[in-house]
Structure 1
Amino acid sequence: MIRRVKVTDYPRLMEIWESSVLNTHDFLKKEDFFYYKENIPIYFEHVQLWGYEEQGVLMGFMGLAEDSLEMLFIHAEARGRGIGKVLVAFGRQKFGITKVDVNEQNEQAIGFYEHLGFGVVGRSQEDGSGKPYPVLHMALK
């Protein structure tokens, strides 16, 4: 079930975020991991958050802003079960999502978004925080 995320869900979102990042972002320096972990709750305030719930437990979530998918994280225990695909489809249908930015070193995510019909339309040398992690700008083809 997809539902709107509440502030009381933030501790679970952080568990999902940490589990997901530790399993997909092996390119992050340790200090940058902790920087993002400290700052991600601030980002929550700037996006519309939707979560995917199974048996009363959030297993993944996404953050949307206008026509962009700003974040998508799936708990490591739930990866490969189609939750990300369901969330992206929901975002496309209900909110007209057409864009996403992806860390260039996150090859799994790039392949995931390409499979869903996104293609690279640009590249930035640094991420949105000014860290040296190149970002690919992707849009629906």
Structure 2
Amino acid sequence: MIRQATNDDIEEIVQLWYQVNVTAHAFISEDYWKSHFDEVKKMLPLAEIIVYEQNGVITGFVGLNDTYISGIFVSSDVQSKGIGKQLLDYAKKIKSELSLNVYQKNERATHFYLREGFIIKSEDMDTDNNEKEYLMVWKK
């Protein structure tokens, strides 16, 4: 089931954020994610968070700040089962355009967004961790 997150979901969401980032971004030190944990936890209630819930457990979510996707996160044990696509499709239904940044080394995510109609608009450097990233955009 896809639904809007509530404040009661924040702890579960931030734990999922952390676990997925550590797994998907092995090229970035786990300490980087740990150092941002509390900051992200404080910022989550300010974003529009849409969750995918299965049997009472949040297994994925997308974070939106207006038309910017802060990220799509799906638990590693249920990845490649269409949850990320369902969350992205939901975001596409409620927004006429979307943008996001993705690390170039995260080839799996880059291919996913390209397959889903995003284009690479520009390349940049994430100065927090010296990793190259793409700015990707999608329009209806």
Q: Is TM-score (shorter-chain normalized) higher than 0.5? A: yes
Q: Give the SS at the match of 1:27.
A: coil
Q: Give the drift of 1:47.
A: 1.4
- In the alignment, which residue of structure 2 is the partner of 1:131? 129
- In the alignment, which residue of structure 1 is the partner of 2:50? 50
Following superposition of structure 1 onto structure 2, how do residues 49-128 of structure 1 map, counting pairs within 5 Å? 49-126=49-126
* Contact 1:69/1:97 (<8 A) preserved: no
RMSD over aligned CA atoms reads 1.6
- In the alignment, which residue of structure 1 is the partner of 2:41? 41
Q: Distance in 2 between matches of 1:118 and 1:136?
A: 11
Q: Which has the higher strand share?
A: 2
Q: Distance in 1 between matches of 2:34 and 2:9?
A: 20
Q: Give the SS at the match of 1:98.
A: strand
Q: Give the drift of 1:31.
A: 2.2
Greater Cα shift, 26-35 or 86-95? 26-35
Q: Give the drift of 1:27.
A: 0.8
Paired residues, what number? 139
* Contact 2:28/2:129 (<8 A) preserved: no
Unaligned regions of 5+ residues in structure 2, if any?
Answer: none
- In the alignment, which residue of structure 1 is the partner of 2:26? 26
Greater Cα shift, 50-59 or 17-26? 17-26
Unaligned regions of 5+ residues in structure 1, if any?
Answer: none
| Structure 1 runs (4+) greater than 6 angstroms displaced | none
Q: Distance in 2 between matches of 1:96 and 1:57?
A: 29
Q: Distance in 2 between matches of 1:105 and 1:36?
A: 20
